[in-house]
Amino acid sequence: MNVDDVVLPTGLRVQVVRRPSVPVVRARLQLPRCSRTPIDTAATELLAAEVAVARTPCARRVRRAGGQVVAWVTAERLSVDGHAPAHALTDLLARVAEVARPGTAPSGLGQVRDELARRLARAPRDPSAAAADALNRLRFDDHPALRPPDAGALARLRPGDVEAAARGLLRPGGAVLVVVGDLDPAEAVERVRAAFGDWRADGPAQQLALPPARESEQGLHLVGEDSALLRLVTGAPGRDDPAEGAFQLATLVLGGFFSSRLVRRLRHRSGMAYSVHAGPDALAATRSVTLDVRVRAADVPAAMRAVRDELSRFAAGGPAPTELAAARRYALGQFAAAGATQAALVEGLAVLATQQLDTGWPDRHAERLETATADQVAAAAHRIGTATWSHALVGGRPGSHVEGAA
């Protein structure tokens, strides 16, 4: 894969890839963030919500061409994502650049804020989000950047709060722009320079830096419905750690795909679980692996015993040769498919850039998956099986008992 990778004098990193499979262009701008207060978090959420409904002339041109630009927020970054027909690349870049430039608060601040508040109030509380929030508070001392949006803070927002959040967040230093599609890379880079050349700020935005996670055998229980989500989490190697490939294969064997041990035991044999999945935590900064098990509330104790039993067996013996071969085929197949479309390629490049990984990482990771030995994967399985797993139960009845995970 040929990637034109340049850093503008302003500090904005630009990656451009020609992928003419369809006459479409896609752009993703990712800006690091680290909220310090609930007001800052609410203001950033409002900035993102305003992007999709903006009525600027540039936004109208993109829509008339059949394109769209939206934004969303995570604890680690603000992402601005758009697509348009290939002939509208200039307008698409201009619209993304327009979002990036800090200015006055949106003219429709009240309407956007009220609609965002209604949407948050209507949205059902996702059990996985509730579990993630609870475990982040437990493992990272209630770090302010990891707190979810607060309805009270959203109601108290004033235009000055939004402008201050924009000035702190919308900075080219540390930001990454990925452009993929039916385009000429050299010409696209020049169009990026024209659109973003006057975007300047004093210094980069602050990035999320978490303290080391504190794992705990003390479980959390958030009472809810009769069904339940049991989430366990523990530390994992970094993305460029030589052990990461073997660790991924071991995770797959334990619970990461349809023929994994926990899927076979909890779904296929006992019918106890609605779903089972193990994989990297959504927050890259945590360097963690999560294990989610969705079960009936009455089956929570039995499911936890089964998980603990499989972890013990995993630590003692590691994967069988057939299990390792199946996990390796699955991992390599999924990895190859990850860049098969324009959207997937944009996502993959943006993730690499924001985690300070170069574009050669996919080749190195594929090699690790291909060459990880049985002994290396067994060592990773022992690490997983003997780790201290923090855990949370979302749902179930008051008094539901969950034993420790370690």
Q: How high is the mean pLDDT in each 10-residue block of the chain (406 residues)?
A: 91 95 96 86 88 89 96 91 97 95 63 79 69 83 81 84 88 94 97 94 80 76 72 91 95 95 95 93 84 90 94 94 97 86 91 85 92 97 95 67 45
Instruction: For residues 301 and 388, state if they share a domain.
Output: yes
Spatial separation of the C-alpha atoms in residues 202 and 36, rounded to whole Å: 19
| Tally of CB atoms within 10 A around 215 | 20
| Interacting residues of 170 by C-beta distance below 8 A, sequence separation 6+ | 31, 100, 101, 102, 201, 205
Instruction: For residues 70 and 161, state if they share a domain.
Output: yes
> Last residue of a domain, which of 164, 196, 228?
196
For residue 107, the model assigns a pLDDT of 56
Instruction: For residues 185 and 287, state if they share a domain.
Output: no
The total domain count for the chain is: 2
Residue 215 falls within a domain, yes or no? no
Instruction: For residues 192 and 235, state if they share a domain.
Output: no
Question: By CB neighbour count within 10 A (0-12 exposed, 13-18 middle, 19+ buried), where does 2 fall?
Answer: exposed
**CATH code of 340's domain:** 3.30.830.10
Instruction: For residues 132 and 178, state if they share a domain.
Output: yes
Instruction: For residues 158 and 259, state if they share a domain.
Output: no
For residue 122, the model assigns a pLDDT of 63
Range of the domain at 388: 220-395
Spatial separation of the C-alpha atoms in residues 283 and 162, rounded to whole Å: 25
Distance of CA 243 to the CA centre of its chain: 21
Spatial separation of the C-alpha atoms in residues 27 and 45, rounded to whole Å: 20
Hey, what amino acid is at 394? V
Instruction: For residues 106 and 250, state if they share a domain.
Output: no
Residue 351 falls within a domain, yes or no? yes
For residue 405, the model assigns a pLDDT of 39
Spatial separation of the C-alpha atoms in residues 226 and 208, rounded to whole Å: 36
